[in-house]
Chains A and B, each alone.
Chain A
Amino acid sequence: MGPYILRRLLIMIPTLVVISFIIFVIIQLPPGDYLETYIAELESQGEWVDPQQIRMLREQYGLDEPFLQQYWTWATGMLHGDFGYSFEYGLPVTEVVGDRVFLTTLISICTILFTWMVAFPIGMYSATHQYSWGDYGLTLIGFLGLATPNFLLALVMLYFANVTFGTSIGGLMDPQYLEADWSWAKFKSVLEHLWIPVVVIGTSGTAAMIRRLRANLLDELHKPYVVTARAKGVPPFKLLCKYPLRVALNFFIADIGNMLPSIISGAEIVAVVLSLPTTGPILIAALQSQDMYLAGSFLMFLAILTVVGVLVSDIALALLDPRIRLQGGASR
């Protein structure tokens, strides 16, 4: 196991290098750069820009340097935590992102936990009570969840949260805490707001997961090894958890790698609607204004999450399933 993890960690390095290069190429693909967009914007407002000043800025940000040189500066900078400079905000990227990365991660993890906590009991119930009224009812709700657009659900929930609980509209905390340092009151305020995005973002994922868990469990429930365990006298609930669920789990563990980035990117529109201080809205804005270091660093952040997620799920799979851990395949 040890050498395996080490090998996987080593393989991550070239993977991330290649990803960072591709990200940089893609960001540079649209014609022009941030300054040109900036000039165009100023000129459209009737303001005049001094070409001398522009040249100075270009030099300062290294925008005139050859492509590879720019990439090298950015990539090596990242290694010691310097993610570059955001033109739009006039601040280093780390300062712009700061709390947002933390909040994004918080929302994502909460969403995954929410999805599992809701989906597993319902999926298990649906599978063991196939074609019952309960199964049909939960299936209907699941399909509704799948079909409702996230942003619509977000608006509806905002309204009800405000009317019933008096939660302030938008954001992840009450306005007075926005600039405040972390405190117990601020944390409580975050929790108060957190459940809306978690439920909204998690709903469609939950519905999809219920369907998949139900299908996977139904496949396993009638396998002979389950009958064996029944014949041994294992009580029903323990039986369900120890045998078929354990086998059906594989699928979900394998999914962790995909889940992290898809939740983060899928949540962007919701984040705009709910005006959440997460990374999504910034990424969209940065891409629009060609704020290249900011956008690039975000994309790198997503890539690292994906790679780490896949590694975590592979290790978890190997720990959970002895077949993966112990079986070597024969080659032709």
Chain B
Amino acid sequence: MPSVAAGGEAIKPLLEVNRLAVDFHVHGTRVPAIRDLSFRLMPGETLALVGESGSGKTVSSQAIMGILPKAAQISAGEILFTPEGGKTVDIAQLDPDSDEMFHIRGNRISLIFQEPMVSLSPMHSIGNQIREAMLLHRDVDRREATRATIEMLRLVGFPNPGEAINAYPFELSGGLRQRAMIAMALICHPSLLIADEPTTALDVTVQAQILQLIKSLQKELGMAVLLITHDLGVVANMADSVVVMYHGEVTERGSATALFRAPQHPYLKALFSAVPHFDMQAGERLRPIREISHDFEHFSRLRAPWTEEQKAAGPHLRIRGLSKRFTQRDGSWFGTRPQAANPAVENVDLDIACGECFGLVGESGCGKTTLSKMLMRAVTPDNGTITYNDHGRMVDLLGLNPEQLRAFRPKMQVVFQDPYSALNPRMTVLNILCEPLAIHGLGSQAEQQERAKELMALVGLDPRFLNRYPHSFSGGQRQRISIARALALEPELVIFDEPVSALDVSVQAQILNLLKDLQKELGLTYLFISHNLAVVDYVAERIGVMCRGELVEVGQREQIFRNPRHPYTRALLAAVPYPDLDRPLDFALLEEGRHNEPSRWEPPFRRHPDQPSEFMEIEPRHLVRITPQGDPLRSLTS
């Protein structure tokens, strides 16, 4: 039934996909990627395509753009595209190399991707790449195109568009890169923008800014948006209607209101309960779409529980005054000369108690990872001490000589973000799991293999998979292998550096539950680093918020989430999109970069470089960094 405009004449949908099917031809067999996909998108509207990786979301967008990989083919259905004032074309019937298709691509329909770093050519300035789209589709000369590019850069929020035009992608931050991508997609004023996970790789605060930008540009240019995402929080904030995909098929479709108020299909319901959110009750568990079971008996028997006396000796990890500055190299006449140093980590004091999970939160570049590397002694700090409680004996980590350090290594292990690059693709899982044991000369080969089997069971993987290579596992399974490898040496403290950021929501719930269980069963201490506050809220007992290398707020989980005091913490919390239509993002709170600019925080938090600051305890065990000046205490304790 066509919609009817005010004048009474029928408006055609901008994009109408009817019973679309796409197959991949792999080794002579046909693998369906999409079956029977239908939806319609009206001009100016936003439609969200929701699903896990492998559900066919991206293939749908490629089919609409006519840029399917060679192995893929549209086997049935039609993609009807009706630009404003134009006639309807069926993209499914068009030759992808035809002039007509080139006219649509990048002009009528354009695309932005997830990873703004790799989606822009590193060899060309962003001005060159943006202008190219204009020169291809509009009959303009270079000067005019350059002027339009500068105008577009201003529109997407570049502070200094005249200079930015000559910048290269690697000189820009992730958020600015994504803005450049958006400028490139929108310079020809397309009637449809396909945004494929546009904010997944970005910090929450930047994500909120980009979402707001897309929304305001959509209104200004009157275009429709096809939003592809797995984040229901983003969907709730952006979409008018939603299509949920699972294994290439539509499981549910409808207006955003209908779907959020009353999800029907079990898959969508499961998706909702797999996402951690701030309203969870204490002790409430996430329900992953596919539950895994694991066997920890053997490992928990190995562990000697800590006595009270050992715990009384001190916190598991005590960090005092830890600082690190990275120096920029500057090519000069002979050799290099150190340049002005930027503090990566500045004067961090932190205690992590035995058996607790400490969550460290902050945007990218705030020094979280540098801090973890210093704890692992992969980076040498400039100042400060790290003391480790080794069953009642306090060890000065920075004072260990190489021999002692080697003997110490098994006690502290790390799990990284990207399960794809953290495992050597040329080693079998058996080799990967035995390697730490072999390095430390633990046990005979037979014992090591036995241990590898137990480790697989510990993370809920079938020990029969030991002879496989990492590429035959999914992202979640690989992350479990990484966890098993970290646990091979029976560490007592494990550092997790963004362990679930690269995973789908459903898999994320699996891993988070596994981590929580292992901590309890094996009595481990965790340092859990993440930029996702909801995830930290789910796993951590105590939380530290980092900004520009400094801890700005530390407290119990409830204290941070129910009573955030520092403006930076508040901004981070405000930027998290809720999968709830009644709690839209408050974009005003996140005005351009104000949240992470210490000189623009409201007093008493306002800081200027080199100004002294101190922690103030505003309630028991809840510390906030302030600048002592005037009489700030009254405003805080009120």
Chain A residues with a Cβ under 8 A of chain B: 3-4, 7, 222-225, 227-236, 242-243, 246-247, 320-323, 326-332
Contact = CB atoms under 8 A, between A and B. Distances in A.
Contacts of B107: 233
A223 B102 CA distance: 20
B522 interface: no
A331 B330 contact: no
* 3 interchain residue pairs of minimum CB distance: A233-B106, A232-B106, A233-B105
A232 B170 contact: no
B168 A228 contact: no
Contact of B97 (A227, A236, A243, A330): A236
Nearest to B187: A232
A231 B105 contact: yes
A223 B118 contact: yes
Contact of B171 (A230, A231, A247, A326): A326
B298 interface: no
Nearest to B324: A332
Contacts of B136: 232-234
- Select the residue from B122, B181, B333, B336 with max chain A CB neighbours within 10 A: B122
Interface string B62-73: 000101010000
Contacts of A4: 331
A231 B110 contact: yes
Contact of A331 (B170, B184, B338): B338
B168 A326 contact: yes
18 contacts: A7-B333, A7-B334, A223-B118, A225-B120, A225-B122, A227-B67, A228-B111, A228-B181, A231-B105, A231-B111, A233-B136, A243-B121, A243-B123, A321-B123, A326-B171, A328-B328, A331-B329, A332-B326
B113 interface: yes
Given A3-B333, A330-B326, A332-B379, A225 B121 contact: yes
B102 A235 contact: yes
A330 B324 CA distance: 13
A327 B67 CA distance: 33
B118 A225 contact: yes
A72 to B, nearest CB: 27
A328 B118 contact: no
Given A231-B111, A233-B137, A321-B123, A330 B327 contact: yes
A323 B330 contact: no
Contacts of B333: 3, 7
A232 B133 contact: yes
Given A232-B105, A328-B328, A330-B328, A247 B111 contact: no
Contacts of A228: 111, 113, 119-121, 181, 184
Contacts of B380: 332
Contacts of B121: 225, 228-229, 243, 246-247
B227 to A, nearest CB: 16
Contact of A322 (B115, B168, B332): B168
- Select the residue from B115, B119, B136, B330 with max chain A CB neighbours within 10 A: B119
Contacts of B133: 232-233
Contacts of A231: 65, 67, 105-106, 110-111
B118 A234 contact: no
A247 B123 contact: yes
B123 A232 contact: no
Interface in B323-355: 326-334, 336, 338
B125 interface: yes
B132 interface: yes
A328 B329 contact: yes
